[in-house]
Each structure stands twice: as C-alpha cells, then as structure tokens.
A = this chain, B = another copy of it.
Amino acid sequence: MLKTKFTTPQIYNDLHMQLVTAQIPQGTKLRSEHLRDRYDCSANTIREVLFRLASAELVVFEEQRGFRAQPADRERLHHLTTFRVLLEQEGAATSIQKGGLEWEAQLSAAHHKLSHIEGRIDEARFDVAVLRLWSLAELEFHDTLISACGSPFLRSNYRRTYDQFRQQKIMQPDYGFHPENALEHQSIIDAALARDEPGCKRAIYEHMKRNLRDGGASGEHAP
C-alpha cells in the first residue's frame, strides 16, 4: 500500500468520512498503531484526531482503554431521530417565518441537486462514491431548510446530530435506499415554500418516522 503524507486536518476529514459512510464497521477498535501506519505519522497525532472525533461522538473514548467506532444500535438511532425531528421542525418553522427570497432560492438549489442524485441512485445503490455524494446533498438540503432560523446553536447542534444519525443509519444491517425518500423531500420543500408551518412539520416527521423504535406507529412526536 502506498503511504501518502497527510496533514492532521486531512486525517480528521478522511476518518470522519469513513465513519459516516460506514466504511469503518461498527464497534471497530481504532488502534493508534494501525492508523499510525496507514497515515504515516506518530501515535500522538492519531490520538489527537481521535479525540476530536470523540467530541463529535462518532467515536467512543474510554480512559485507559482507547477508542472505538460507535457501535450500531437501534435504540441510539431512535433517540437521534427524535432529537433531529425536534431541531428540524423548530428550525424549519422559524425559517418559514423569517426566511426571504434568498432562502427560498438556496432551498430550491439544494433540492434540485439532491433530487438529481436521488433520480439515478438505483443504478449504483451501494457505490461508496455515490453514497458520499448523496449524503452530502441530503445534509445540505436539511441544513438549508433550517438555515434562516437565526439560531447558530440550533444549526451546529443539528449538524452534529445529523452526522451521528447518518453513521447509525448506514450501519444498520437492513440499510437500503428508500425510493419514497425523494417524494418525502418533495413534500418538505413544497410545504416550506408554501409557508405552511404545520404541513412542513408533518412532512419532516413523516420523512423520519421509519427510523423510530416502532416505525412511528405511536405518532409520539407527530405535530
């Protein structure tokens, strides 16, 4: 294998990407020695990167016991989903109130990109490169949706939660792309552009409920 010299931020980005696209399997122990070899740097540099990933909660750190990738856990996915629903409903509702033409335009653009990728996703459903593109486009769409809410902490906490959600979602043994997804995104943007707050909240809940413990049967966080 070819060793290339990486800078610390590059190592961080590379590992982050691998974690949220499940190229590093659930619960894998992340040994400094192995990674040190892969990235051609000292154990200390790896340790530093792993600490940063632990702060993003993509990696679990235990004193004197090292680091491991977050294990796959349906319960965790459920809780990440309820929290995402809360933040996105609030962020979207406020954006609908406050957002202007610029927001609408950015939202259209993000949705256009996303639906273009979703349109040809069955051709290469499990291609890692496509998965990466789709993942970025999906995040951009949801982030743009809440981007006019005026609360930087809502956005940064949403972002952190989204990454953890994505990591869990992709790690689930029965993971697969749902074609309904594209329709659900359409419902969300339709309601948002129509300035329909309750409708948008409902569409967000409908989009995410399949990740809840009971598949959303209880309607617990429905608006």
Partner-B contacts on A (CB < 8 A)? 8-9, 44, 47-48, 51-52, 54-56, 63, 79-80, 82-83, 86, 90, 151-154, 157, 161
Q: Which of B63, B90, B152 contacts A86 (CB 8 A)?
A: B90
Minimal beta-carbon separation of A3 from chain B (angstroms)? 23
On whether the beta carbons of A153 and B79 are closer than 8 Å, the reply is yes
Q: Which of B79, B83, B90, B152 contacts A79 (CB 8 A)?
A: B152
On whether the beta carbons of A157 and B83 are closer than 8 Å, the reply is yes
Q: How many copies does the complex hold?
A: 2
Chain B residues near A80: list those with CB within 8 A: 153
Given A9-B63, A44-B44, A63-B9, A83-B154 contact (CB < 8 Å): yes
On whether the beta carbons of B63 and A151 are closer than 8 Å, the reply is no
Chain B residues near A151: list those with CB within 8 A: 79, 82-83, 86
Chain B residues near A157: list those with CB within 8 A: 83, 157, 161
Give the complex CA separation of A63 and B48 in angstroms.
12
Chain B residues near A54: list those with CB within 8 A: 55
Chain B residues near A161: list those with CB within 8 A: 153, 157
Minimal beta-carbon separation of A138 from chain B (angstroms)? 20
Chain B residue with Cβ nearest A83: B153
Q: Which of B48, B55, B63, B82 contacts A47 (CB 8 A)?
A: B48
